[in-house]
A and B are shown apart, each in its own frame.
Chain A
């Protein structure tokens, strides 16, 4: 059982990699395709609703979409005071997409991997033991870092557009410590720059690792629960799944909120 359990866990935690050797040029086909499908699902549903939006007598789907849009709009307006056409759609995309990716955790932990194994074995003659499919994209550091590095690029872009390239670079060397004379300024510049770099890099790292850690641990616990005897699984599985509904939503919300906060900090002058 022990080696079986180890194998089971290992199998569940292995990505469907496009090349067996791995390396930087390989692709996690499972997390990439699932995130892509979910992204299209989000975009498709929202665009459909936006296209068919009715001013009067909106349908249930429209009301649902509107409530999400309203929530995001409220948060953006409360936190971000500058004018920007990008930030609200960005926040909406993050919230919905991250939520959908997290929600993959609610699928039965063996459902998709087993379906993938069956399909791989039946149609492609693959060895089921070497067919891997991890269905939660946000439990993949590549996915979370892909998001958070995009956010980092947005932060830098917002800073430059608000303060100008020169202003932003100047701020990198003169804040948070201000000196009165030119000598002091030059002396403090390295310290300022180091602190600014830490501040800048801590943002994407904390964003992505927070999401990744929550989703990875959630997935792992589901896998561990799946190792219990079947009659006892509900005892832990049900509470954890119910609790996880909160975690899924909360993590999507936190990712969105922190993005808005970081971007509003980026356009403010220190």
Chain B
């Protein structure tokens, strides 16, 4: 155990080393490590936020999808209803049209029948009058018995 100037040299070296570490080693390293810790924390927070955003977006997507489906279903239902309605309307229209046609045809037929009857009656009346004239040529004055002839004609 012999003390000498080595002790002093060691103390001076120590002081210089501590000063150097204080100046050039410790602050940059700890600052960098703090910066990194902050960045990691930020990154984790951002990831958490991203996750939440994703969840919200997924929820919104599901909502919109459900809404769209509902709308589609409603549209389909409305369309079906409308189609049925159109079919019914068409059926109705066709039915009325048919009925109208039938009625018209019937009335035409009736008219034809009437006209035919009329013609027939005219002909029969004519024939009868002609027959009667032939039979009663001498006894019947056409001018005298015109009223009678007309009434007979009307009876046919």
Contact = CB atoms under 8 A, between A and B. Distances in A.
A246 interface: no
Given A26-B5, A93-B17, A141-B3, A146 B22 contact: no
B98 to A, nearest CB: 87
B7 interface: yes
28 contacts: A22-B2, A23-B4, A24-B4, A39-B16, A39-B17, A43-B25, A46-B21, A47-B20, A49-B29, A55-B35, A55-B36, A66-B29, A70-B33, A85-B22, A89-B25, A90-B22, A92-B21, A92-B26, A93-B21, A140-B6, A141-B2, A145-B10, A146-B6, A146-B8, A146-B13, A146-B14, A147-B11, A149-B7
Contact of B24 (A22, A47, A73, A146): A47
A65 interface: yes
Contact of A35 (B13, B22, B26, B28): B13
A31 B14 CA distance: 14
For B2, B6, B11, B32, the residue with the greatest tally of chain A CB atoms inside 10 Å of its CB is B6
A190 B156 CA distance: 170
B28 A24 contact: no
Interface string A26-54: 11100110011001001100110111010
A86 B11 CA distance: 16
B17 A31 contact: no
A180 interface: no
B39 interface: yes
Nearest to B6: A142
A89 B26 contact: yes
Contacts of A36: 13
Contact of B9 (A32, A53, A86): A32
Contact of A27 (B9, B30, B32): B9
Secondary structure of the A contact surface, majority rule? helix
Interface of B: 1-11, 13-18, 20-22, 24-26, 28-30, 32-33, 35-36, 39
Given A89-B21, A93-B18, A143-B7, 14 more contacts: A32-B6, A35-B10, A43-B24, A46-B29, A47-B20, A50-B29, A55-B32, A55-B35, A141-B1, A142-B7, A143-B6, A147-B10, A149-B7, A150-B14
A97 interface: yes
Contacts of A93: 14, 17-18, 21
Interface of A: 17, 22-28, 31-32, 35-36, 39, 42-43, 46-47, 49-51, 53, 55-56, 65-66, 69-70, 73, 85-86, 88-90, 92-93, 97, 137, 140-143, 145-147, 149-150
B3 A51 contact: no
Contact of B20 (A24, A28, A43, A66): A43
6 closest A-B pairs (Cβ-Cβ)?
Answer: A146-B10, A142-B6, A89-B21, A89-B22, A89-B26, A142-B7
A25 B2 CA distance: 11
Contacts of B6: 27-28, 31-32, 140, 142-143, 146
Contacts of A145: 3, 7, 10
Contacts of A146: 6-11, 13-14
Contact of B15 (A31, A73, A97, A150): A150
Nearest to A85: B22
A128 to B, nearest CB: 23
Given A23-B4, A25-B5, A92-B25, A149 B33 contact: no
B13 to A, nearest CB: 6
